């Protein structure tokens, strides 16, 4: 089974290299359904994999001058506080059985996977549908309030499901910080790296980390990123992202069906 997990890590890395993001959303389903980890541990491992992969991607983009460090730090502070607090205090205190009435039982694991499926659904739809962005003028006060509220919420979502949250962060960078698209993508990787790795730190006291598995898994994912980046030169990016979006949508439906049944 671990061999399948490592092959999955390589595939996730390829997707990240090809699309510039999104592949990390497959990490949790791979860890849960292929390798048998529970959703809480899977989310923690996903944060580490996403964090290290995003740090690598952010470094490459920084060399191309496509990372706005100042904006990234401003956006990251409220979101990584949300991630850390969620992983350290909220997730461990979610009851094992959230709801029970007659034969209907909603467990913590089922709740987290259904929430993850919902996030996958939104991620897929955001990639399929090109939203027309209306850039509005905002005052400095509105700018700061929006950053704090939006990014704390983003941090909580990332902390609960272990996904990178790029599909949530990039629109904020476009709408609020008004960064150009390429710089928004590069800056989002910087923010995701900080969010994910700091969120993972919140898990260290709550979860026994299997480092002998996690480090090779992350390294193989990095190799996949190199491979995907090379292949991307020969593939149409728009069609690739749309195809991947439909794959994520199908995965969301499968996970929902599996958890409810």
pLDDT of amino acid 215? 93
Q: Distance between CA atoms of 205 and 183, rounded to whole angstroms? A: 35
pLDDT of amino acid 13? 80
Between 123 and 29, name the one with better pLDDT: 29
pLDDT of amino acid 12? 81
The structural domain count of the chain equals 1
Tens of pLDDT, residue by residue over 199-253, are: 888 888 788 889 999 999 999 988 887 887 788 777 776 677 777 778 888 888 9
Of 72, 211, 218, nearest to 151 by C-alpha is 72
pLDDT of amino acid 164? 67
Q: Answer yes or no: are the C-beta atoms of 179 and 170 closer than 8 Å.
A: no
Confidence of residue 130 (pLDDT cuts 50, 70, 90): low
For the segment 112-130, the average pLDDT, to the nearest whole number, is: 81
Tens of pLDDT, residue by residue over 6-58, are: 898 898 888 777 765 566 678 888 888 888 898 888 888 988 988 888 888 78
254-257 contacts at long range (C-beta below 8 A, 24 or more positions apart):
255/29, 255/113, 255/114, 255/116, 255/117, 255/120, 256/114, 256/117
125-130 contacts at long range (C-beta below 8 A, 24 or more positions apart):
125/245, 125/249, 126/167, 126/171, 127/22, 127/167, 127/241, 127/242, 127/244, 127/245, 127/248, 128/242, 128/245, 128/246, 128/249
C-alpha of 175 from chain center: 20
The residue range of the domain holding 19 is 2-260
Q: Which residues of 120-157 are buried (b: 16+ CB within 10 A; e: fewer)?
A: bbebbebbeeeeeeeeeeeeeeeeeeebbebbbebbbb
């Amino acid at each position: 089974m671990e061999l399948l997990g490592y092959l999955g890590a390589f595939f996730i890395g390829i997707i990240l290299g090809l699309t510039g993001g999104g592949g990390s959303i497959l990490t949790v389903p791979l860890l849960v359904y292929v390798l048998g980890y529970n959703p809480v541990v899977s989310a923690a491992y996903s944060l580490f994999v996403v964090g290290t992969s995003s740090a690598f991607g952010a470094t490459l983009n920084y060399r191309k001058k496509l990372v706005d460090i100042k904006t990234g730090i401003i956006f990251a502070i409220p979101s990584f506080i949300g991630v850390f607090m969620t992983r350290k205090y909220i997730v461990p205190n979610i009851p094992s059985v959230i709801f029970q009435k007659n034969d209907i039982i909603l467990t913590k694991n089922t709740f987290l996977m259904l929430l993850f499926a919902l996030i996958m659904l939104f991620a897929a739809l955001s990639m399929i549908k090109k939203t027309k962005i209306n850039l509005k003028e905002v005052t400095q006060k509105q700018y700061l309030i929006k950053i704090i509220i939006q990014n704390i919420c983003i941090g909580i979502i990332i902390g609960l499901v272990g996904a990178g949250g790029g599909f949530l962060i990039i629109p904020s960078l476009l709408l609020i910080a008004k960064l150009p698209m390429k710089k928004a993508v590069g800056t989002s990787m910087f923010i995701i790296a900080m969010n994910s790795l700091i969120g993972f730190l919140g898990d260290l006291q709550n979860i026994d980390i299997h480092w002998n598995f996690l480090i090779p898994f992350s390294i193989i994912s990095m190799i996949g990123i190199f491979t995907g980046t090379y292949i991307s030169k020969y593939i149409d990016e728009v069609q690739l992202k749309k195809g991947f979006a439909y794959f994520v949508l199908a995965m969301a439906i499968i996970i929902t069906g599996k958890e409810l049944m």
